[in-house]
Chains A and B, each alone.
Chain A
């Protein structure tokens, strides 16, 4: 007589590990997740970071302040301009230079454009992670329009290096305002398509609603910032709480949601794109006249001391901490990168969900790996 094969009940299942990454399409870079599973259920997730550690903080110690800018492009490459701005603001704060309004307004517009293109790419890849390949094409097509604006004014598409201590590298291109306005008009028309394609899609709802819930308390204690934190109701927008550049003169809403699941993190980002467009519309028609750069000493030396500046990148709060000993090189530079903190919560919120949900949760945190490893 044949022996009947016994099916194990969930309690008897053995725990086993699989490696997700370092080369896995859903990690968007070289991140290795050591996932412990029981059946299909995630027991724990251990992120192993450092595969593309580039030593940016250490490198900063041997170069001058204007040279640091181009390295920060390469941390969170989708928020390149905002990273540049963070270092510039820090240097300007330390030297107590007054920055003309024109520079502030242009920087703010560029930051918001950066945020839009970052969220567009995130939308594209998040859709692709969950099986909607069409999203990827549409998202990248629209992002191309922003990249063209960058390319025309800054000369770079992703790696812009547009800010420098004391202002901007070049003035805006004569076409800049027209192009931005055209883009806003175009994108306002396109954004409802995003909703029709993905936000309202039933398969997407099933895969994201109620998945990876993060409470407000946990968001605060893990230090989750950016849209991921705000989706849990944690009011953490640096643009609101500690306005820099021209954010104190524009009106916009901080997108605050309460659910804290994958779906609300998604909605938070979609809504942020709308808010960013509002900010740009308020500024684009009244860019003040004036110089695009302030005369700085040829060799910038910060006075001895410690300086900290926070900005809101597309993924959360970026802090730049500089210790200067009065030389032309900083003594120590520390970047508080949003992605590193956002990654830390992955284990906490994905326990008890299926491994397929891990892809959705990871995608909704919008991790950029070079920013984690720095």
Chain B
């Protein structure tokens, strides 16, 4: 007798526990907005990423095509995996002195681990993260980028 009662109890408890779970899932049928996280890619147009999101490393230029990179090479030194390569050149300033300046700031997106050390340690704040995250390309060579734009110059007043 005992065992039969227990058996029945178990069945009733089992069905009850299943119903309880069904209640949760069922209730979401009537409020679907609480279960959706992001409708990517259909919300692509108005998708705003957080401003600190580490998409890729960029070098902001102002409207006169000037950047702040002095070519000191600290970012290259701090990068843990050789993502950054600084190629510098010697220029002659207006008062006739020779000076080292940046020729190319090469950034290999395919190797970057987004540690943020380059952006943090740059003494003249020349680097920043952009919020772009759609990086897929068909050719690997496209992931090697030159961060300083062609013909760009060092901003006045940055040493």
Contact = CB atoms under 8 A, between A and B. Distances in A.
Contacts of A198: 21
Given A151-B53, A152-B50, A170-B52, A141 B18 contact: no
A63 B14 CA distance: 57
Contacts, number: 75
17 contacts: A66-B117, A67-B78, A67-B80, A67-B117, A69-B115, A70-B114, A134-B25, A141-B35, A151-B52, A151-B53, A173-B52, A193-B24, A196-B20, A200-B20, A201-B17, A203-B18, A205-B17
Given A63-B80, A151-B53, A152-B50, A169 B120 contact: yes
A159 B112 CA distance: 13
Interface size class of A (residues with CB under 8 A): 20 to 34
A70 B21 contact: no
Nearest to A137: B35
Contacts of A66: 78, 117
Interface in B27-82: 35, 37-38, 49-50, 52-54, 78, 80
A162 to B, nearest CB: 9
Interface of B: 10, 13-14, 17-18, 20-21, 23-25, 35, 37-38, 49-50, 52-54, 78, 80, 113-117, 120, 129
A138 B25 CA distance: 10
Nearest to A143: B37
Contact of A159 (B24, B53, B114): B114
Contact of A70 (B23, B49, B80, B129): B80
B21 A155 contact: no
Contacts of A169: 116, 120
Contacts of B114: 70, 155-156, 159, 161
Interface in A195-217: 196-198, 200-203, 205
Given A161-B114, A202-B13, A196 B53 contact: no
Most chain A Cβ neighbours within 10 Å, of B14, B50, B54: B50
Nearest to B115: A70
A155 B52 contact: yes
Interface string A47-68: 0000000000000000100110
B52 A161 contact: no
Interface string A163-177: 010000110010000
Nearest to B129: A155
Most chain A Cβ neighbours within 10 Å, of B14, B35, B116: B116
A92 interface: no
A202 B10 CA distance: 9
Q: Is the interface of A mostly helix, strand, loop or mixed?
A: helix
A54 to B, nearest CB: 12
Most chain B Cβ neighbours within 10 Å, of A70, A148, A205: A70
Contacts of B50: 148, 151-152, 155, 173
Contact of B23 (A71, A140, A141, A196): A196
A201 B18 contact: yes
Nearest to B120: A169
A70 B118 CA distance: 13
A71 B54 CA distance: 17
B115 A67 contact: yes
- For the complex of A and B, the 10 pairs showing the least CB-CB separation, nearest first, are A70-B115, A202-B14, A67-B80, A155-B54, A155-B52, A152-B50, A202-B17, A144-B37, A196-B20, A197-B21
A148 B53 CA distance: 10
Nearest to A70: B115
Interface string A72-97: 00000000000000000000000000
Given A140-B37, A155-B54, A173-B50, 10 more contacts: A63-B80, A66-B117, A151-B52, A152-B50, A159-B113, A169-B120, A196-B24, A197-B21, A201-B18, A202-B18
A154 to B, nearest CB: 7
A138 B28 CA distance: 10
Contacts of B113: 70, 159
Contacts of B35: 137-138, 141
A203 B10 CA distance: 11
B155 to A, nearest CB: 24
A201 B21 contact: yes
A240 B27 CA distance: 40
